[in-house]
Structure 1
Amino acid sequence: MIERRLKALANGPELRAHLLDPHTEAHLEAYAGNIEYGLGTVKMPVGVAGPLRVRGLFAGGDYPLPLATTEAALVASYHRGALAINDAGGCTSVLIDEAVSRAPGFAFPSVRDSGEFVAWVLGQLETMKAVTGQTTRHGELKGMKVTIEGNHVYLILQFHTGDASGQNMVTLAAEAICQFILENSPVTPDYHFVEANLSGDKKASAQSFTSVRGRKVTTEVVLSRQIVEQRLQTTPERMTDYWRFSAMGGVLSGTMGVHGHYANGLAALYIATGQDAACVAESAVGTTRLELTPDGGLYATLTLPNLMLGTVGGGTGLPSQQACLNMMGLAGTGKVRALAEVAGGLILAGELSIIAALSAGHFARAHRKLGRERGQEDTDTSTGQGDQP
């Protein structure tokens, strides 16, 4: 089938050489469940930052950080931040909540019907949990919230999804719950949708900060003045000056949360480890905060409420992506919570490095050195990118 598709394209032979390389061809069966009308694979650079020392509830130790990106200076920047965190003995990263939501919507003739439906459906949670159990061995319905908008009712169903990111899992469970409702509700809806766009799926939303989608992680580190000056080449005062300035900039521009560049590290980690890259849209929401410590050091923390990731399912079992998870020691069951805590540490490393670069006036110079002047080593300490992993 792939050969027929390639022959039908004008540049088929050239495409074959680039997309259907021998390794890909030998592992075609592994990709069958992840792509339709396949032609092969796209290769992109993968670098490694760290290892990063993480002290968490589920993650404990030093973790290499595989990052797939085409943006020069990115891996070097995250590596520099990781080294600063390691100098301080590591970061504390804690998983504080987890759930994946799906939000079916039901339309009724009137708001009175909506109210009658809600009065009934609120008493059906235990039955809905049993219905969910018939669709998956790994997920469970955790809870339900209800929003009424006139004659429309939204059910925000929150699921535990085991070690999977769980997008498909919760969709199938929500579909089964909808069918149960249609068959048993005392008020018949005019129509319904399995997802009515209130879950925050693959988009930034304000509800992130009062809820959770995926895994919610908070991470912190305290850097001494010496570490900031020697490793990050700036001062705690100037970094907090920049944080205040950028926080107000975020308010003025109307961003969801306040941070520097969560999407950079998350996209690179997601692609390297087989996550759904589109989930960066919701995962890259959160808050970074910097403060001076009483002894003149730097306290840095961030909270990521929407980390949509997994260590099983989706693209995590593909050859290259599985290799990257194995590199971290985080492949397979029982590892997703640790991966979420490591992701928090990775993003904190990136925030520290970019804020330091902007504070010290090195931001443009680092990109010029590593992004334009090709062929030079990525160990130039004048841009703060020294000490290769």
Structure 2
Amino acid sequence: MKNPPSNISRAKYDFIDSSVIEKLESYNSKLSQESEKVPAQDPYTLNGQKLRLNFIRKQLNTNVDYLSGEKTFNNNESLKGNIENYIGMSQIPTGIIEPLVINGSSAQGSFYVPLATTEGSLVASYNRGTKACRESGAITTITLQEGVQRTPTFKFKNLIDLGKFVAWVLEHKETFSLLTRETSNYAILNDVGINIEGNVLIIRFEYTSGDASGQNMVTICTDKICKFILSNCPIKPIFWTIEGNTSGDKKATSLTTRVRGRKITAEITLKRGIIESVLKITPELLQQQWKISTSGCIKGGTIGTAMQTTNALTALFIACGQDVACSSEASTAITRIEIDENGDLYCAITMPNIIIGTVGGGTSFPTQKECLELIDCYGAGKSSKLAEIAVALCLTGEISILAAMGSGQFTAAHQKFGR
């Protein structure tokens, strides 16, 4: 079914609908907190692997025949559009963490999240952070904005020509919306932004892309719009390119702190007793470590104040068939940790660039499909859910690594689990 006409004049801002508030308030996190734990015994034996696979099959009622190695991939024809000069599949170890309990605008329930990595201690770190959060309640997640951009760039002889070109472009925004709908069943053009630097014009086309991550979709739509402009506008640029490198694609930039993909915020209040028993640190020391780490981010010129969000996203993206290079911009985050009036610890993370999809790309490959099905995120209508799971996962990792550093456990953990 094709999308409705776009409203490209609407303002872009963070917004929480009243229906979302009602949904969050009515959720009973205790039901999810009662989920069974993943069997942790025999972590590196065939018997331990079988225990966990049988747990998944029984607890989640899902198929893991490819993840287990019982079946192998041999449908080479299905690789068209994903790879060139194909020679085989790279295998990366995949682990699963204890149930991550979320009360979100799109994701609600407990999720056994699969992570593919070769970094020892990574799964253990997220497992511990997840446990601390689950025993304190549910992580609240809300999707605030959506948008995927392409920024074609045009160069002119002078500002006068540029100005005439801009005037023509702005008069034809509704035509661009129609061209988008003709090109894609799922893309919606929501905004056309203008940025001028001397005789260079950057046009920011912003779309929503349904359940696909959207980079290819918006590139094709933008190319059609640009070719329409070049064929019909009386003012011609002396040079143009489909991407002026200002959309934030595959890189963290200050320009993408607005939104690229989905902007999501997440929070949880950790109980003092749970912080001390699970994370082995006091709220005061954990907050102090966050302050030191945030100061370090500022001194180093980091975009955002995250500790290890790239670890979570890369492992999740590999497991679930995402564009792994998008972890570059997706990992941009603002993490905040504060002691509240009860002596507990308020923890929040906001991530504006979650580029993620549950259809297309690598999502239909056997092991990637199985991993998505583990968290009920395969297929249409599931991308916002997957995005909120990703951000909640990142929050658990921020909590865990800050606790490890602040309590002196960081090195010991890598000595125990790493190589």
TM-score > 0.5 by shorter chain: yes
Once the two structures are TM-superposed, the CA of residue 275 in structure 1 deviates from its matched residue by 0.4
Residue in structure 1 matching 2:320, options 262, 273, 278: 273
Residue in structure 2 matching 1:176, options 212, 217, 224: 224
Q: Which residue of 1 aligns with 2:172?
A: 124
Once the two structures are TM-superposed, the CA of residue 150 in structure 1 deviates from its matched residue by 1.1
- Which deviations, in whole Å up to 9, do the C-alpha atoms of 1:303-327 show, x marking residues without a partner? 1110111000100111110000001
Q: Which residue of 2 aligns with 1:320?
A: 367
Once the two structures are TM-superposed, the CA of residue 31 in structure 1 deviates from its matched residue by 2.4
Residue in structure 1 matching 2:158, options 110, 133, 137: 110
State the distance in 2 between where 1:117 and 1:33 align.
36
State the distance in 1 between where 2:345 and 2:81 align.
47
State the distance in 2 between where 1:363 and 1:101 align.
38
Matched, 1:76 2:119: no
State the distance in 2 between where 1:25 and 1:258 align.
40
State the distance in 1 between where 2:377 and 2:104 align.
14
For 1:213, the aligned partner's letter is: R
Secondary structure of 2:119 counterpart: coil
Once the two structures are TM-superposed, the CA of residue 26 in structure 1 deviates from its matched residue by 2.3
Residue in structure 1 matching 2:381, options 307, 315, 334: 334
2:246 and 2:255 in contact (8 A); partners too: no
Once the two structures are TM-superposed, the CA of residue 119 in structure 1 deviates from its matched residue by 1.5
State the distance in 1 between where 2:262 and 2:149 align.
11
State the distance in 2 between where 1:27 and 1:238 align.
53
Q: Which residue of 2 aligns with 1:291?
A: 338
1:24 and 1:41 in contact (8 A); partners too: no
1:25 and 1:40 in contact (8 A); partners too: no
State the distance in 2 between where 1:81 and 1:28 align.
39
- Which deviations, in whole Å up to 9, do the C-alpha atoms of 1:221-278 show, x marking residues without a partner? 0011011001111011001101111111111111111111110000000000000000
Once the two structures are TM-superposed, the CA of residue 125 in structure 1 deviates from its matched residue by 1.3
Residue in structure 1 matching 2:139, options 91, 98, 102: 91
1:24 and 1:40 in contact (8 A); partners too: no
Normalised to the residue count of structure 1, the TM-score between the two structures is 0.88
Q: Which residue of 1 aligns with 2:109?
A: 61
Residue in structure 2 matching 1:308, options 342, 355, 374: 355
For 2:378, the aligned partner's letter is: A
Matches within 5 A, 1:1-389: 24=72, 26-209=74-257, 211-372=258-419
Secondary structure of 2:249 counterpart: coil
- Which deviations, in whole Å up to 9, do the C-alpha atoms of 1:66-95 show, x marking residues without a partner? 100000000011011111111111100111
Once the two structures are TM-superposed, the CA of residue 25 in structure 1 deviates from its matched residue by 5.2
Q: Which residue of 2 aligns with 1:377?
A: none
Secondary structure of 2:88 counterpart: coil
- Which deviations, in whole Å up to 9, do the C-alpha atoms of 1:132-165 show, x marking residues without a partner? 1111101111111110111110000001100000
Secondary structure of 1:34 counterpart: coil
Would the alpha carbon gap of residues 38 and 22 (structure 1) be closer, same or farther in structure 2, given more than 3 Å must change? farther
- Percent identity over the alignment? 44
For 2:243, the aligned partner's letter is: E
Normalised to the residue count of structure 2, the TM-score between the two structures is 0.82
What is the count of residue pairs matched by the alignment? 351
Q: Runs of 4 or more off by more than 3 Å in structure 1?
A: 21-25
For 1:224, the aligned partner's letter is: K
Once the two structures are TM-superposed, the CA of residue 29 in structure 1 deviates from its matched residue by 2.7
For 1:330, the aligned partner's letter is: C
Instruction: Please give the root-mean-square deviation of Cα atoms over the aligned residues, in Å.
Output: 1.2
1:143 and 1:158 in contact (8 A); partners too: yes
Secondary structure of 2:356 counterpart: coil
For 1:108, the aligned partner's letter is: F
Once the two structures are TM-superposed, the CA of residue 117 in structure 1 deviates from its matched residue by 1.1
